[in-house]
């Protein structure tokens, strides 16, 4: 069921959780364990959980002796190739504590733009979930090009939620919620609730991502939240350290109401 309030989150059947690069790489790599704890708790109560995880390039950078995110496509692809392997290993190593098996799913924008690969991706995801596997999704940075990229994994997570008919999308970052203006500025107030269709008039939404590691920010999260909400999923935006409380239904973060009528990517979504 699609939760109508945060209190109903524990009843959600299918949940997509997205985590950004800055939350699980570098000095924050230790947050993988607590994140897995939260996902495992939802899995244990019967939810079907999908994790959309950024971080392949950031994880691979130290092994290529890079101090900053590479700007050229070939080096980004190389870093992603090394980092994706290490990232999945770290997740699986943590999931082993709960006897949960991860499945790696790498997608490009083209996979969700065309009917045949989109149907294949949907079928694979449905089967993994039916087998109680925890899919870990990322953009296939090793083969993606600038022209066909999703742009950020917030959008990818929204499209995955749409693809599988998720009840809930949780977008995690290092900011606990959306604010009426960048949270470091005086007068910024937390936005607790966004009714479906609310244009957020008067709200200063800007990109506040970590330029050296990730690519997303508040603007991409609002855009992704709207895609998922239009597809019929409720959306919660909050900080990675709060994920356990979020999945338990605590009153935190920013909540986006879902559309009253659900649709999926199989209906030729304009967002694919």
**pLDDT tens, residue by residue, 93-148:** 999 999 999 999 999 877 888 899 999 999 999 999 999 999 999 988 777 666 44
**pLDDT tens, residue by residue, 69-95:** 888 888 988 999 999 999 999 999 999
User: Residue 205 has what pLDDT?
Assistant: 66
User: Residue 266 has what pLDDT?
Assistant: 47
| Helix axis angle, 32-44 to 73-95, nearest 10° | 60
**Residue 18 counted as an annotated binding residue:** yes
Question: Does pLDDT of 215 surpass 50?
Answer: no
Q: Are 117 and 111 in contact (CB under 8 A)?
A: yes
SS3 at position 137: strand
Average pLDDT (235-247) is 97
CATH code reported for the domain at 6-265: 3.40.1160.10
**Residue 22 counted as an annotated binding residue:** no
pLDDT band of residue 239 (cuts 50, 70, 90) is: very high
Q: What are the extents of the domains in the chain?
A: 6-265
pLDDT band of residue 12 (cuts 50, 70, 90) is: very high
Q: How many CB atoms lie within 10 A of CB 141?
A: 22
Of residues 250 and 140, more confidently modeled: 250
**Residue 174 counted as an annotated binding residue:** yes
**Residue 94 counted as an annotated binding residue:** no
Percent of the chain whose predicted confidence (pLDDT) is above 70? 89
User: The whole model's pTM is what?
Assistant: 0.90
Greatest Cα-to-Cα distance within the chain, rounded to the nearest angstrom: 50
**Residue 153 counted as an annotated binding residue:** yes
State which of 17-26, 33-42, 183-192 shows the largest mean pLDDT. Answer: 33-42
Give the pairing type, strands 190-191 and 102-107.
unpaired
Q: Which string of DSSP letters, residue by residue, matches 244-271?
A: HHHHHT-S-SEEEPPPSS---GGGT-TT
pLDDT band of residue 184 (cuts 50, 70, 90) is: confident
User: Residue 112 has what pLDDT?
Assistant: 85
**Residue 176 counted as an annotated binding residue:** no
Least confident of 5-14, 90-99, 162-171, 219-228: 219-228
């Amino acid at each position: 069921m699609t939760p109508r309030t945060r209190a109903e989150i524990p009843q959600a059947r299918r949940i997509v959780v997205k985590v950004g690069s800055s939350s699980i790489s570098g000095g924050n790599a230790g947050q993988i364990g607590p994140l897995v704890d939260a996902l495992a708790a939802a899995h244990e109560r019967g939810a079907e959980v999908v994790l959309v995880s950024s971080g392949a390039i950031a994880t691979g950078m130290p092994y290529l002796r890079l101090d900053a995110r590479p700007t050229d496509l070939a080096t980004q692809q190389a870093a992603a190739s090394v980092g994706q392997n290490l990232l999945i290993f770290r997740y699986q190593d943590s999931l082993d504590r709960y006897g949960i098996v991860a499945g790696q799913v790498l997608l490009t924008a083209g996979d969700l733009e065309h009917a045949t690969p989109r149907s294949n991706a949907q079928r694979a995801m449905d089967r993994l979930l039916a087998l109680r596997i925890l899919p870990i999704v990322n953009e296939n940075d090793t083969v993606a090009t600038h022209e066909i990229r999703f742009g950020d994994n917030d959008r990818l997570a929204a499209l995955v939620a749409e693809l599988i008919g998720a009840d809930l999308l949780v977008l995690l970052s290092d900011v606990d919620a959306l604010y009426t203006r960048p949270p470091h500025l005086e007068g910024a107030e937390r936005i607790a609730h966004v009714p479906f269709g609310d244009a957020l008039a008067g709200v200063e939404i800007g990109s506040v991502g970590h330029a050296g590691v990730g690519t997303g920010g508040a603007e991409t999260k609002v855009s992704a939240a709207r895609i998922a909400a239009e597809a019929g999923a409720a959306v919660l935006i909050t900080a990675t350290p709060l994920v356990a409380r979020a999945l338990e239904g605590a009153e935190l973060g920013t909540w986006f109401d879902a559309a009253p009528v659900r649709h999926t990517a199989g209906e030729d979504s304009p967002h694919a």
